C-alpha cells in the first residue's frame, strides 16, 4: 500500500484528518498538539499561509506544520514561544516515515527553515546547514527531595535567598487555576519588569486558561507585606516535567531579589508537591539559569535546500559563501 500524502491550509481540516492523533491524549508534549498550533496561528501568525504536510502508511502518520514564506519557501508554524519543533509522529513505527515526509516536502518547496530543533536535521534529497541558535537548560530530579536539590546549588544563590528571605519577606503562593485577577497581576509585573514588550499576551492568557482546565498550570505570585505583587512565574507541569515559560519581577523591587525568592518556592513545589523528574528552563543563554539547573542542551536551526532546483542552488551558494566568510581570518 503506497504512502498517502496530503497538504492542508486549514487546521480544522487537519483535525478532521488526524482524528484525535494530535490531541493531548495521544501527544504527551505541548508542542506536538494541534491546540498549540491553533494558538500560534491565531495569536502570532494570523495572516500566515498554512502549509501542513501529512504522510500516512497504515496506522502510522507524520505531520510537519509549516507556513509558506515565498513561492517555494517555507518556515515552521512557530514563534518565540515555541520551545520545540520537529515532525510529529503517531503510530508504530512512524519514524520510518521520515524519508517519505521529506520527499513529499521537496515536491512543494525548494528551501525550508526548521527551528528550534533538539538536533540538526538531515534528509535525502536536501542539502542542510545547521547552526546552534539557543540553549535549553534542564535538570533531572532523581528523588522528590528539595533539600538535596538545594544543597547542590551555588553558595552565593543559597546565601542570597536566605538573606533576602529575612530582610524582604514575601507572601508567595503557587496557583493551579486560572483567575482573571491573578492574570492582571502577572501582566502588571511584566510591564514593570526589565523585560521587553511581550509579543502576545493574548496567546499566554489563552494558554494559561487552557492548561488550567487540564490541570497543568502553575502560576506563582509573590507579594510584599503591603499586598503589592512584585514577582510572577508561569510554569506548566505535565507528565513528570515542569517547564518554566515566563518569569518576571518588578524592576523597582529587585533589591529584595523577589525573583530568586519566588524561584525557590516554585522549584520546591515542583519537586516536593508535583514530584517531577525533570525541570526545563526553556530557551535562552542567560547565565543565571546555570545556578538553578545543570545541563545545557544545544538548540539548532537547520536550513534545507533542494539542490535539484534553481532556488535551492542559490541558497546553497549563499550558505557556502557565508560560512567561508565567517572562517576567513582577519587581515
Cβ atoms of 270 and 264 closer than 8 Å: no
Query: Would you state the cell numbers that stand for residue 194, as one nine-digit string?
Result: 526589565
Q: What is the pLDDT of residue 93?
A: 86
In the predicted structure, residue 123 carries a pLDDT above the cut 70: yes
Looking at residues 284-311, what average pLDDT do you find? 96
Closest residue by Cα to residue 82 from 231, 217, 199, 190: 199
In angstroms, rounded to a whole number, what is the distance separating the alpha carbons of residues 52 and 153?
A: 44
pLDDT-derived band at 330 (thresholds 50, 70, 90) equals very low
Q: What is the pLDDT of residue 328?
A: 59
Q: What is the pLDDT of residue 8?
A: 98
Looking at residues 106-124, what average pLDDT do you find? 97
pLDDT-derived band at 326 (thresholds 50, 70, 90) equals confident
| E-only strand ranges, 256-312 | 278-283, 295-305
Q: What is the pTM of this model?
A: 0.94
In angstroms, rounded to a whole number, what is the distance separating the alpha carbons of residues 131 and 302?
A: 6
What DSSP character marks residue 210?
A: H
pLDDT-derived band at 2 (thresholds 50, 70, 90) equals confident
- Tell me the pLDDT tens digit for each residue of 152-169: 999 999 999 999 999 999
- Tell me the pLDDT tens digit for each residue of 239-255: 999 999 999 999 999 99
Element (H, E) at 18: helix 11-18
pLDDT-derived band at 94 (thresholds 50, 70, 90) equals confident
- Tell me the pLDDT tens digit for each residue of 14-30: 999 999 999 999 999 99
Q: What is the pLDDT of residue 325?
A: 84
Looking at residues 137-150, what average pLDDT do you find? 97
Domains in the chain and their CATH numbers?
A: 4-134+299-327 (3.40.630), 142-276 (3.40.630.30)
Amino acid at each position: 500500500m503506497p504512502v498517502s500524502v496530503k497538504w492542508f491550509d486549514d487546521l480544522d481540516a487537519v483535525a478532521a484528518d488526524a482524528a484525535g492523533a494530535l490531541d493531548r491524549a495521544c501527544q504527551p508534549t505541548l508542542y506536538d498538539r494541534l491546540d498549540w498550533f491553533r494558538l500560534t496561528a491565531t495569536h502570532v501568525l494570523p495572516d500566515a499561509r498554512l502549509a501542513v504536510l501529512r504522510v500516512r502508511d497504515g496506522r502510522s502518520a507524520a505531520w510537519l506544520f509549516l507556513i509558506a514564506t515565498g513561492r517555494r519557501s517555507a518556515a515552521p508554524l512557530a514563534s518565540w514561544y515555541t520551545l520545540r519543533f520537529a515532525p510529529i509522529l503517531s503510530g508504530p513505527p512512524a519514524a520510518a516515515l521520515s524519508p517519505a515526509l521529506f520527499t513529499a516536502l521537496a515536491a512543494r518547496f525548494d528551501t525550508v527553515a526548521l527551528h528550534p530543533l533538539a538536533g540538526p536535521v538531515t534528509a535525502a534529497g536536501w542539502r542542510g546547514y545547521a547552526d546552534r541558535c539557543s540553549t535549553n537548560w534542564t535538570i533531572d530530579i532523581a528523588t522528590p527531595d528539595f533539600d538535596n536539590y538545594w544543597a547542590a546549588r551555588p553558595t552565593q544563590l543559597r546565601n542570597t535567598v536566605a538573606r533576602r528571605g529575612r530582610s524582604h519577606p514575601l507572601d508567595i503562593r503557587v496557583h493551579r487555576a486560572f483567575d482573571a485577577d491573578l492574570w492582571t497581576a502577572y501582566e502588571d509585573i511584566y510591564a514593570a519588569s526589565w523585560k521587553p514588550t511581550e509579543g502576545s499576551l493574548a496567546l499566554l492568557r489563552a494558554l494559561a486558561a487552557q492548561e488550567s482546565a487540564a490541570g497543568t498550570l502553575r502560576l506563582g505570585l509573590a507579594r510584599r507585606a503591603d499586598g503589592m505583587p512584585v514577582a510572577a512565574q508561569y510554569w506548566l507541569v505535565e507528565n513528570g516535567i515542569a517547564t518554566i515559560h515566563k518569569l518576571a519581577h518588578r524592576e523597582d523591587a529587585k533589591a529584595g531579589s523577589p525573583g530568586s525568592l519566588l524561584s525557590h518556592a516554585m522549584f520546591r513545589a515542583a519537586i516536593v508537591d508535583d514530584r517531577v523528574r525533570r525541570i526545563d528552563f526553556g530557551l535562552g543563554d542567560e547565565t543565571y539559569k546555570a545556578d538553578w539547573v545543570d545541563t545545557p542542551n544545544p538548540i539548532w536551526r537547520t536550513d534545507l535546500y533542494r539542490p535539484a532546483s534553481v532556488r535551492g542552488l542559490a541558497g546553497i551558494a549563499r550558505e557556502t559563501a557565508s560560512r567561508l566568510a565567517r572562517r576567513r581570518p582577519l587581515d
